A and B are shown apart, each in its own frame.
Chain A
Amino acid sequence: MEQRFSDLIILLASGINQRRMYFDEHPKVRAFAADFSLQLSRLLGETGELEFSFGVYNGKFIRNGKYLVGPSIAGRSLITFAERLGCGGFAFRLPTEPHDAAAFFNLGATVKDKVGTLDDARRLFDLRGVGHISLLPPYGEDKGKPEDQPDDLLENEEDLGDDFSPLMAVYQSLYEIVSRNNELSRRGHDVDIQDARSFGETLTRSTGDVLDVMQFIRYPDYDSYTIGHSVRVAALATVVGRRLGLDEDLIGELSTAGLLHDLGKGRVPESILFKPAKLDPQERAIIESHPALGAQILISSGDASELMVSAAWGHHLRADGGGYPRMPGWHRPSFAASIIHVCDVFEALTAMRPYKRSMSPLAAYEIMFRDRGSFDPRPLSALVHALGLFPPGSEVVLSDGRRAVVSLKGHDLDRPRVRITHERSGRALDPAARPLIDLAGEPGLEVVDIVLIGATA
């Protein structure tokens, strides 16, 4: 149930992001507003509560005394909004109507600076017709503590929850570096290669095995697909690089190249980048210029390595010579470009989007194999062999009805080692009592379903 509340927070942040891209009456914005209203009323109806609230403190979301890690990463726009309003959180009462949510998104997207005091912010909400949504006082104010304020928040950071791992700190840092570089690129300023390089190396050192990497992949990033996409491509590139037996320095370079491969998109007008309809040939030509633009930005920086330039230029090049930019006969892409190409496509196919379930890895593999001319077979097979059909961290359903989490890829691609998390009845097992099963030794047991990341009821 708490996951669903977390999803609501992400939905709020996504609504703000949609409003940033489109005008307030745009169907997408209205759809998000309507969906939030519906989800909220359903959830509160099931729980019997009249209000849904959460806190914002120190750049993170808090609910019931716990930091919400996923939403804290994905919901940055909402956190920024709260900070500008000077509030300590939000409370949504029934019946929060779609027009309330839409007005909330509108404010979230258009408030650019700090709004005086909390009272000023409340007046702004009233003026803009945001009904049934309250602004909670910031933590530490004497004007009454909001509910769920964690008293020992500052002293007891052990209470951070199981999800908060050092990897998340890395993820957040990577997210910020990519976001910053994209903004620098968009404004025509020099990008920060050294920072990206150091974080790329950190990623390589931090992700010792596939399980670590898959934790990156699992976290939703509705906030900005482009940024999270680059972070996840970087993570996948480390996986492929290790499987191919590359040395750690080279893997570090690949990782950094993954972070920077879409830098050129910062120079593509957002009206084209986020156009909600099919692109005309001119617009497509502009989109297809982003690899070349990215390479030029990197070369101009003077700091980028040859591998980074190669990956930025060639990550949309097909193995059969197609793709873009056009490749003359005397020029062929490097192994690095081929690796990033494979990771780029796999991530795009399997990642979560608003209103799009993530595709299972197997379905993604099938699509990629079907278009066999596109991909160099070596990084493609390395990816499959490294991740398996059910990558570590995947939640799966077994043929006997139990649910499990994949802990380790098995020797056979479709027979991993799993840790049982739920009984057939659906009852969750105590974390201390979750058996580990090697499906390779259980011929009568197999994975029949994979819980796709981001699936909601």
Chain B
Amino acid sequence: MGASTYASETILDVQDQPLKQGMSNLLKAFDRLMTVGTYYSTDHEQYKEASRKACGIIVESIGGRSSVILETGSAGLMLEGQVVNPQHRNVRQLHELLVSLNIARLEIDHGLSPEDLRLAFKVLHEHKLALGSSTDFREVKVQGLPPTVRVLGANLVLRDEEDGGIDDLLADIFGVEDVSAVSSPEQLAKQFLDLITRVIENLRDYEKENGGGASGGAGTDKQEMSPQLRRLAEDLRNLVLVDPDPENLLRLVHNARRALDLSRDSRSVDLVFRMLRKEVSRAKPVADPENPDRPAFNRDNHDLELFRAELDRVSAAPRGTWVAENPVRLDYLGICFQILQSEPPPSLEIHLLAALEVALGEESTGPEVIDLCAAAVAAGVRTGHPSAAGRQIQAVAHILRAHHLDLLARFWYRLWSSLDNGGRGAAWPYLANDVLLGMDKADPADLGALLEGLGSVHLHEARQSQVVLFGLPCMQEKSASPAIFTVPAVSLYALHVLLLESPLADWHGPRIYRLMMRQPPNQLTGLVIQVLGEYRAEDRALLTRLLEQQAKGTMSGELKVWIVQLLLGQLETLPQSRRREEWVDPALFWLGQLDHEAARSVFERVLTERRLLFFKAWPEECRSQVERMVESWNNASAT
């Protein structure tokens, strides 16, 4: 099912703007699949079919991106910078599922497969079921998702941009020689005091509305507050005098902002009081005789037991093979490929290709490295820059051919398996090149699969990369791997057709001709080859048509005429000494099949010709064949 099925209705964002290209279809694909999932289990054939279609649409919608991210928020579902109403009929199911699992972010990789999609939804639904059936509070940790689907819990995601989470803290630290402009102690303290003043005002208003507060005349705000609130306000203000450490002030400012937000809601006032009292109670420095103003380490503020437990948990991670399992080589190769895929300047590309040569050329290069190269190149093909991807394929293939020929077929097999039809079309000429140049020591199964892959691309697609193929090394040498002659010519008809039209047609032509002779794709082709006899260059066009005819399954009018002319030409001038050759009988049959009218003159001759005025000039078999055919025509005419 193509995207056009959904094209009729585009989802609008909360500002009534259409979603970016592909995103409407993506959301609808999710929604549709989830709807099917309400009727069928994930193992049901209907669901599998739906997941295949949905996956195709999702991957198509992702397009050239490496992934797409959906985020849940109070405003709605966010993707590609736009926000969609969470109650939209195509969004509600997905949004509710994510929110129920406390998932703030869902990331779908471009490499998503239908199996991955099914597994992802199966996992999410199982978690949701477990959550629904639990009887106590628990934190949901979604586990078991496929690698192409990633989630992030809301408690790890900093929705407030000014939150002091580690990334923001580090951004503040890394960004400048000093912390950001607001982080000098004086400015932080001022910010905190401003915020606290506003919080206290809100709390004071709450008190007044609810009959609390101190009675008293006009004057300062303090006189309108309850003693409790006034004391809290003073304690909070003193915090910044006791502890001017910018790090602590950052935290105080952050918490003060939260308190301010909460204090606007009368239902949260008690919570605000508790937060602020806790903040005050935390500030209990241990006195230092030399520096009484310096904030203390204060073991009470650091739960060492908790930390030790956490350290034990972290330390339990097995270390033995960690270095070997996270090798530098794979990372390095991945980096080189990623930079190559960003279309670097030529000077850098030269260095990168040289780096690849060194890394891949090493003796230690093995299957794991090859698989990574294949995955990386496949990603490059998917980015949609054919020339860049082609250069990467050539680079890797060249290096492997020079240093690890035994692994070349594995590379191609992994790569080919990762590509969709469009990608395969782009990679086809390079595969053809390597198959022609030969892949010695290849695993027979891999080679067979590659030949099958080579043959799976139709001629019209292959022609689109004809120019590329003709520029590759396989067209520089008069050689071809025997592999392409181990399968019937028609299996690789696109390749053979292009070879017959290539600069090396004179060299490839006879070989392809002999293959067609040995393994004729059908009886007619076998007959034509027999009739032609020896290979001649001027017969290449006819051979090409024959291959196309077999691949397409239909015979063009042009080919029919060609064959008829050929057979007529041979039969009309056939000397008696040759009339018993094995091709003659089939030739008469096919001539009659292809063109009645053209055959009549020959047929009449076969039936009536005499030698020495008495003896039949044509063999009995030929005459019988012709008689049967003429009779069948007559019968057909009569009815």
Contacts and interface: CB of A to CB of B under 8 A. Distances in A.
Interface of A: 17-18, 21, 27-28, 31, 222, 224-226, 244, 246, 273-279, 287, 292, 295-296, 299-300, 302, 306-307, 309-310, 313-314, 321-322, 325-326, 328-338, 345, 348-349, 353-357, 359-360, 362-363, 365-374, 377-378, 380-381, 384-385, 389, 397, 401, 413-414, 424-426, 446-450, 455, 457
Residue among B185, B331, B334 with the highest chain A CB neighbour number at 10 A: B331
A31 B184 contact: yes
Contact of B376 (A292, A331, A355): A331
B323 interface: yes
A360 B297 contact: yes
A413 B379 CA distance: 46
B444 interface: no
Nearest to B162: A278
21 contacts: A244-B322, A274-B177, A326-B66, A328-B338, A330-B375, A330-B376, A332-B326, A332-B331, A333-B331, A334-B328, A335-B323, A335-B328, A345-B170, A353-B179, A355-B246, A366-B307, A381-B314, A384-B311, A413-B311, A414-B304, A455-B291
Nearest to B308: A413
The 10 A-B residue pairs whose C-beta atoms are closest, nearest first, are A330-B375, A331-B334, A334-B331, A306-B332, A276-B181, A377-B317, A381-B315, A449-B297, A377-B314, A371-B166
Interface string B292-304: 0111111100101
Contacts of A336: 328, 331
A323 to B, nearest CB: 9
A296 B348 contact: yes
Interface in B431-472: none
A360 B307 CA distance: 14
B1 interface: no
Residue among A21, A355, A371 with the highest chain B CB neighbour number at 10 A: A355
Nearest to A446: B299
Contacts of A310: 328, 331-332, 335
Interface in B198-238: none
A362 B302 contact: yes
B286 interface: yes
A279 B175 CA distance: 9
Contact of B289 (A273, A330, A401, A455): A401
A46 B298 CA distance: 30
B164 to A, nearest CB: 10
B266 to A, nearest CB: 32
Nearest to A322: B152
B169 to A, nearest CB: 7
Interface of B: 66, 109, 111, 147-148, 150, 152, 156, 165-167, 169-171, 173-181, 183-185, 245-247, 286, 288-291, 293-299, 302, 304, 307-308, 310-311, 314-315, 317, 319, 322-323, 326-332, 334-339, 344, 347-348, 351-352, 354-355, 359, 372, 375-376, 379
Contact of A368 (B150, B166, B294, B317): B166
Contacts of B315: 377, 381, 385
Contact of A426 (B181, B290, B307, B337): B290
Contact of A365 (B307, B375, B376): B307
Nearest to B315: A381
Contacts of B344: 296
B372 A330 contact: yes
A349 B177 contact: no
Interface of B is mostly: helix
B60 to A, nearest CB: 18
Contact of B180 (A278, A330, A380): A278
A384 B173 CA distance: 21
B355 A299 contact: yes
A79 to B, nearest CB: 18
A401 B289 CA distance: 8
Contact of A287 (B175, B179, B302): B175
B177 A355 contact: no
Residue among B111, B150, B307 with the highest chain A CB neighbour number at 10 A: B307
Contacts of A31: 184
A401 B355 CA distance: 59
A336 to B, nearest CB: 6
Nearest to A279: B175
B431 to A, nearest CB: 20
A309 B334 CA distance: 11
Contacts of A426: 289-290
A457 B331 contact: no
A321 B150 contact: yes
Contacts of B329: 306
Nearest to A362: B302
Given A299-B336, A365-B307, A448 B180 contact: no
A335 B326 contact: yes
Nearest to A371: B166
Contact of A244 (B297, B311, B323): B323
B68 to A, nearest CB: 12
B5 to A, nearest CB: 28
A450 B297 contact: yes
A25 B441 CA distance: 74
B326 A296 contact: no
A278 B182 CA distance: 9
A27 B288 CA distance: 33
B286 A448 contact: yes
Contacts of A401: 289
Contacts of B334: 330-332
B335 A295 contact: yes
Given A330-B376, A332-B330, A334-B331, A369 B175 contact: no
Contacts of A306: 328-329, 331-332, 359
A277 B328 contact: no
Residue among A31, A306, A325, A446 with the highest chain B CB neighbour number at 10 A: A306
A246 B295 CA distance: 39
A235 B24 CA distance: 51
A454 to B, nearest CB: 12
B179 A356 contact: yes
Contacts of B181: 27-28, 276-277
A322 B156 CA distance: 12
Given A299-B352, A368-B166, A448-B297, A309 B335 contact: yes
A288 to B, nearest CB: 10
A355 B148 contact: no
A448 B299 contact: yes
